[in-house]
Amino acid sequence: MRFPNLMYIDGSWTPASDGATLDIIDPATEECIDTAPVATSADLDRALAAADFAWRTWREVDAWTRSAAVRRVAELIRAGADEIALCMTEEQGKPLGEARSEVLAAADQFDWYADEARRIYGRVIDGHSCAHRLFVIRQSIGPVAAFSPWNFPALLASRKIAPALASGCSIIVKPAREAPRTTLCLAQACHDAGIPKGVVNVVTGNSSMISRHLCASPIIRKVTFTGSVPVGQEILRLCADGIKPVTMELGGNNPVLVFEDADIERAAEVSARAKFRNNGQVCIAASRFYVQESIAKRFTERFVEITKSLRQGDGRDSNTEVGPLANLRRLEATDALVQDAAAKGAVIACGGHRSPEFKKGFFYEPTVLTGVGSDMRIMQEEPFCPVAPIATFSDLDDALRQANSTEFGLAAYVFTRNTRTAFIASEGLEAGMVGVNHLLLATAEIPFGGVKCSGFGREGGSEGIEHYTTVKYVNLLV
């Protein structure tokens, strides 16, 4: 099966103008499975010109017609879910079941924004004079530059493409070099759905060069980025000169508070299985576990038991529950975090090494650490790895103090049967999203995003489309 491996510019599939390519590596085998173009400045200029021209007509298309077109994209993604999932597993490593669920979640984004296209509301304001009619309208902001990461290459790109299309914007997407073909599959769905040429463009290659070129262009009116804090800071600097609005969904180190009145067995099992989804390479993954002292031993024993039972292997194997990490960088970074914690006194309750049963591939054992302290890197940095550190707390105030002690504020989680605790903890956690008694937050209809160094702006929900529009006030003398 051949997946798209050319850039999609102005409605056509195209190689780099100089023919340069980069290798796409299968993280389970470390073998090159395909190539993708390395865009040149000329390629980017062509994408910019196409996006600029297409926007001036796409923004004039009525909302019902845009809505129908976006809905067709959703239908085509669902129809091709199995093929797109296989493409994702080949280049990103996650188990096929997880990949397919992600593809369907990506389709949900297009479905949701097909509806939101018809709900971009303005308002009429009563002014000081009956001779004046005051209107506020929302209009398409213009061509968008979007940068999406490798951990969810279908879903996170869809969170940007779908609202852009729905609001009448054109878009240039730069997917991560590790998993570009999955995003190119979305471009194929847009093409087959009849989205006009130039409205959606996907370019591949050198991230820093592409971001500098696109952010500096006066054609780009908005930038949206999902990724790490350091790269997000650089994107903000690049956009400052042009005064471009930016949506930032950055890193997280997300706390889980487990209170003594929770269903301990369920909390431990749910937490362990959710922690190792996509090998912990999830921006809203449960990252730091704080368990009330009275039940810490019981919770940890069950957590370790579930962790040891997880089957690791090639994502194409239907028995696999945990695949490889996405690249060698993540493998090395994971081991460095574990070694730092161990050197500072943490106990490795299970795992803690590169998986010995695999001769090739970026496999690291699902790992549980106990006796962790706030001075350990894994408690302060975004971990993005299959390592679960477990600490303890005494009471609610202590739990909130520890949970809020990092620069991040993306997601947080609470396990309790006490309604008062659930409300007070949810309100006291410094995070953009909170889950109570579960760890699955992402869905198309909710506003996704964080606070503090985890970024600003929201993707998803009715709030998401607002960032792709500008507000215009009209004062009409009659």
Q: What CATH number corresponds to the domain at position 54?
A: 3.40.605.10
Which of 169, 185, 190, 283 is the catalytic position? Answer: 283
**Strand 171-174 relative to strand 144-147, pairing:** parallel
Whether residues 184 and 288 fall in one domain: no
Helix axis angle, 63-79 relative to 81-92, nearest 10°?
70
Residue 2 lies in a domain: no
Whether residues 241 and 261 fall in one domain: no
Share of the chain above pLDDT 70, in %: 100
Active site residue 283: yes
- Distant-in-sequence, close-in-space partners of 67: CB < 8 Å, separation ≥ 6: 114, 115, 117, 118, 166
In whole angstroms, what is the distance from residue 366 CA to residue 323 CA? 10
Whether residues 363 and 417 fall in one domain: yes
- The predicted model scores a pTM of 0.96
**Strand 144-147 relative to strand 222-226, pairing:** parallel
Number of domains in the chain: 2
Question: What are the tokens at 452?
Answer: 């503090």
Whether residues 259 and 160 fall in one domain: no
In whole angstroms, what is the distance from residue 50 CA to residue 172 CA? 10
Phi, psi of 278 (to 5 degrees): 55, 30
Q: Is residue 291's pLDDT more than 80?
A: yes
CATH code, 396: 3.40.309.10
Whether residues 434 and 462 fall in one domain: no
Stretch 101-105: mean pLDDT: 98
Q: Is residue 317's pLDDT more than 80?
A: yes
pLDDT value at position 2? 75
Whether residues 244 and 304 fall in one domain: no
Whether residues 75 and 155 fall in one domain: yes
Which of 249, 260, 381, 382 is the catalytic position? Answer: 249
In whole angstroms, what is the distance from residue 399 CA to residue 245 CA? 36
pLDDT value at position 350? 97
For 197-221, how does the pLDDT look when each residue is reduced to its tens digit (9 = 90+)? 999 999 999 999 999 999 999 999 9
For 323-363, how does the pLDDT look when each residue is reduced to its tens digit (9 = 90+)? 999 999 999 999 999 999 999 999 999 999 999 999 999 99
CB-CB contact of 323 with 310 (8 Å): no
Stretch 45-55: mean pLDDT: 98
Question: What are the tokens at 298?
Answer: 């019981």
Whether residues 266 and 244 fall in one domain: no
- pLDDT, the chain, mean: 97
Whether residues 264 and 153 fall in one domain: no
Residue 198 lies in a domain: yes
Q: Tell me which amino acid residue 373 is.
A: G
For 403-441, how does the pLDDT look when each residue is reduced to its tens digit (9 = 90+)? 999 999 999 999 999 999 999 999 999 999 999 999 999
In whole angstroms, what is the distance from residue 275 CA to residue 24 CA? 27
Residue 234 lies in a domain: yes
Residue 448 lies in a domain: no
Question: What are the tokens at 208?
Answer: 């820093």
Question: What are the tokens at 400?
Answer: 């909130």
**Strand 411-415 relative to strand 254-258, pairing:** parallel
Residue 167 lies in a domain: yes
Whether residues 264 and 173 fall in one domain: no
Residue 353 lies in a domain: yes
Q: Is residue 236's pLDDT more than 80?
A: yes
Which element (helix H / strand E) includes 164? helix 155-167
Q: Is residue 285's pLDDT more than 70?
A: yes
List the domain range (segments joined by +) for residue 200: 7-250+453-477
- Distant-in-sequence, close-in-space partners of 128: CB < 8 Å, separation ≥ 6: none
Whether residues 353 and 303 fall in one domain: yes
CB-CB contact of 80 with 185 (8 Å): yes
For 109-161, how does the pLDDT look when each residue is reduced to its tens digit (9 = 90+)? 999 999 999 999 999 999 999 999 999 999 999 999 999 999 999 999 999 99
Residue 320 lies in a domain: yes
In whole angstroms, what is the distance from residue 10 CA to residue 197 CA? 5
Q: Is residue 1's pLDDT more than 70?
A: no
Residue 178 lies in a domain: yes
* Residue 252: band (very low, low, confident or very high) from pLDDT cuts 50, 70, 90: very high
Helix, strand, coil abundance in the chain, percent, nearest 5: 40, 20, 35
Whether residues 356 and 389 fall in one domain: yes
In whole angstroms, what is the distance from residue 317 CA to residue 478 CA? 70
Share of the chain above pLDDT 90, in %: 99
